[in-house]
């Protein structure tokens, strides 16, 4: 006959040979005095669902209830119980031992954040001996997920039909190997939403992959190159680009080139321009080549090792720029990651707070702090 559990507070106590049967052999719960153990509600529900418990008493004088009644009572008493139970059961079925990521359960000391619901140990390892394989944060598809601090966690998203999608979130930047140093004597004309360099030097586009040439089958103009505002602002901030004219600007050429290009960027794009400029500058400083990611719904796509545009490698990343307080909707996150995987790229989010307020001195914001977050689909 299977043992009966007794709900005490937010834990279910089981006596008899429970320690040997459930904790020592299968990693459920936490040991108490003697052979008694305490189970979290999710652990107890899973054992009840499997038939390893005969029932659970909800009060001192109450008769033991079955899985259905305990599940409903727990869903009413515990936050997100239903989705946490689904993820717990799924990972148990995949062969993982798990612990609740809170004290006094064994996983409490292994949890990297209060947002983590469970820690899953390496397959075949118990909470006593195992190394944490996945710190699991469980969310429903209609919840939001803070981008800050997500690195190092495994996100388990439960959709409206109770299917589970897992995402691995990791920290780390983008490092390239493009050895090109742009010239320091560029001049250009600032237009409404781009800069034209009329006499771009050899290699500027071909080796540095800056801008896009003004070309065509019948073209009789050589060396003309269009730069995006973010490319131009970064070059100007480094002292490599000056303006000879500024179209649609009633102030002539007052002020340095970098400040004027940034001001135009803010006019056409708002404060988001500052964020993108900061991330662009960081990518270039890391010897990666960022180009627009518009076709993929991202801010940038990146090339890590460009030797020549004629022999351009496959771009490796899609980069989307967000603020440090950004919150993902799981649907948005899934779309970004799925699209990146479909075009054989890694999805990277760049978190920077520079766009939350323009620099008081009108600066260009190219040295802002950036936190990198890589997210990919995961099959545990």
For the chain, which residues make up each domain, given as ranges? 1-78
- Category of 49 on φ-ψ map: left (φ > 0), alpha (ψ -120 to 50) or beta: alpha
Q: How confident is the model at residue 307 (pLDDT cuts 50, 70, 90)?
A: very high
Residues 6+ apart with CB under 8 A from 72: none
Q: Is the pLDDT higher at 323 or at 62?
A: 323
Q: Which fold has domain 1-78?
A: MutS, DNA mismatch repair protein, domain I (3.40.1170)
Mean pLDDT of 251-269: 83
Q: What is the DSSP letter of 144?
A: -
Mean pLDDT of 73-84: 95
Question: Quick check: helix, strand or coil at residue 321?
Answer: strand
Identify the pLDDT of residue 367.
66
167, 172, 229, 257 from 254: Cα distances, Å? 49, 40, 18, 9
Quote the CA–CA distance of 362 and 95 in Å, as a whole number. 56
Structure tokens, 27:
């990693």
Structure tokens, 304:
């890590």
Q: What is the DSSP string of 44-88?
A: HHHHHHHTSSSEEESSTTPPPB-HHHHHHHHHHHSTTHHHHHHHH
> Residue 362: pLDDT above 50?
no
**Backbone phi, psi, residue 302, to 5°:** -125, 145
> Residue 250: pLDDT above 80?
no
Q: What predicted TM-score, i.e. pTM, was given to this entire model?
A: 0.90
Contact 355, 66 (CB under 8 A): no
Mean pLDDT of the residues in the chain: 91
Identify the pLDDT of residue 361.
43
Q: How confident is the model at residue 254 (pLDDT cuts 50, 70, 90)?
A: low
Q: What is the DSSP letter of 371?
A: E
User: Which positions are catalytic?
Assistant: 303, 314, 345
Lowest mean pLDDT among 160-174, 219-233, 270-284: 219-233
> Chain centroid to CA 4: how far?
43
Q: Return the half-sphere exposure (C-beta side, CA atoms, 13 A cut-off) of residue 193.
A: 5
Question: Quick check: helix, strand or coil at residue 3?
Answer: coil
Quote the CA–CA distance of 58 and 323 in Å, as a whole number. 46
**Backbone phi, psi, residue 312, to 5°:** -75, 130
């Amino acid at each position: 006959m299977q043992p009966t559990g007794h709900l005490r507070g937010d834990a279910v106590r089981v006596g008899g040979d429970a320690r040997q049967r459930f904790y020592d052999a299968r990693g459920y719960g936490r040991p108490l005095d003697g052979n008694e153990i305490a189970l979290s509600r999710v652990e107890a529900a899973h054992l009840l669902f499997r038939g390893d418990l005969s029932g659970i008493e909800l009060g001192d004088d109450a008769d033991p209830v079955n899985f259905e009644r305990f599940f409903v009572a727990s869903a009413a008493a515990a936050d997100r119980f239903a989705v946490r139970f689904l993820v717990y059961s799924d990972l148990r079925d995949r062969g993982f031992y798990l612990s609740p990521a809170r004290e006094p359960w064994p996983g409490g000391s292994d949890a990297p954040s209060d947002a983590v619901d469970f820690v899953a140990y390496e397959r075949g390892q118990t909470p006593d001996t195992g190394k944490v394989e996945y710190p699991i944060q469980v969310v429903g598809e209609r919840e939001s997920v803070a981008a800050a601090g997500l690195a190092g966690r495994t996100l388990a998203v439960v959709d409206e039909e109770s299917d589970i999608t897992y995402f691995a979130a990791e920290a780390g930047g983008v490092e390239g190997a493009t050895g090109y140093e742009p010239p320091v004597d560029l001049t250009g004309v600032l237009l409404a939403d781009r800069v034209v360099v009329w006499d771009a030097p050899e290699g500027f586009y071909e080796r540095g992959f800056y801008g896009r040439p003004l070309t065509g089958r019948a073209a009789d103009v050589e060396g003309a190159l269009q730069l995006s505002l973010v490319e131009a602002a970064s070059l100007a901030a480094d002292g490599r680009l000056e303006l000879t004219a500024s179209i649609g600007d009633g102030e002539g050429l007052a002020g340095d080139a970098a400040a004027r290009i940034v001001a135009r960027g803010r006019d056409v794009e708002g404060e988001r321009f500052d964020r993108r400029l900061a991330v662009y500058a960081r990518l270039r400083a890391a010897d990666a080549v960022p180009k627009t990611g518009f076709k993929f719904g991202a801010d940038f796509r990146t090339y890590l090792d460009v030797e020549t545009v004629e022999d351009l490698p496959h771009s490796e990343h899609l980069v989307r720029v967000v603020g440090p307080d950004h919150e993902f909707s799981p649907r948005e996150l899934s779309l970004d990651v799925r699209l990146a995987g479909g075009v054989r790229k890694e999805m990277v989010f760049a978190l920077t707070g520079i766009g939350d307020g323009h620099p008081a001195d009108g600066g260009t914001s190219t040295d802002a702090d950036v936190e990198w977050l890589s997210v990919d689909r995961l099959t545990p």
